[in-house]
Amino acid sequence: MSIATPKKSRNDLEPGEVLCDHCTAKCCRYFALPIDTPTKARDFDFIRWYLLHESASVFTEDDSWYILVHTKCRHLQDNHLCGIYETRPQICREYTTDNCEYEDDWVYDRYFETPEQVEEYAEAVLPKRRGKSIRSKQPPRIPPLPVLA
């Protein structure tokens, strides 16, 4: 039985040591793009549509809204390093580990994984529309079963 080596702290790196050598490349397993802040029912309906797709979620951070797509970069190798490091896109070149999620201690202000979560949130924050609800009508009651003698 092998004992797992504890994850090295960012603060314990030796001079010249690279944080990425101790990570599973979380930054290469998703991408997030800003979306407009929803203010109307129609905006929330678009977010519901995003979440009907596999591997998508929506989050907020500092009052900005983002769609997050959980998908691995096609050039991420089994050793968690970039297979096209020398020719990687500019966005990858500009990315730093200064504020990356290496420690796993970050949280989102809001996080939505299902369309139902968005519906409930929208109902809570949007002004009530007179006589209207985003919820379905309550189904008719099931009649009681006849009593057998």
In a domain, 41, yes or no: yes
pLDDT reported for residue 134 = 57
Domain count, the chain: 1
pLDDT at 56: 97
**What are 97's two structure tokens?**
């580990």
The answer to whether position 31 is within a domain reads yes
pTM: 0.76
**pLDDT at 84 (0 to 100):** 97
Q: What are phi and psi of 59, to 5 degrees?
A: -140, 165
Q: Please list the residues that pair with 60 across neighbouring strands.
A: 65, 110
Pairing mode, if any, of strands 56-61 and 64-69? antiparallel
- Residue 30 in any domain: the answer is yes
Cα distance between residue 14 and residue 108, in whole Å? 31
Q: What is the mean pLDDT of each run of 10 residues along the chain (149 residues)?
A: 70 87 92 97 97 97 96 96 96 90 86 96 87 71 82
Q: Where are the alpha helices (DSSP H) in the chain?
A: 41-51, 90-94, 115-125
57 lies in some domain: yes
Q: Which residue range(s) make up the domain with 90? A: 17-122
Residue 140 lies in a domain: no
Residue 59 belongs to some domain of the structure: yes
Contact at 8 Å (CB) between 81 and 88? Answer: no
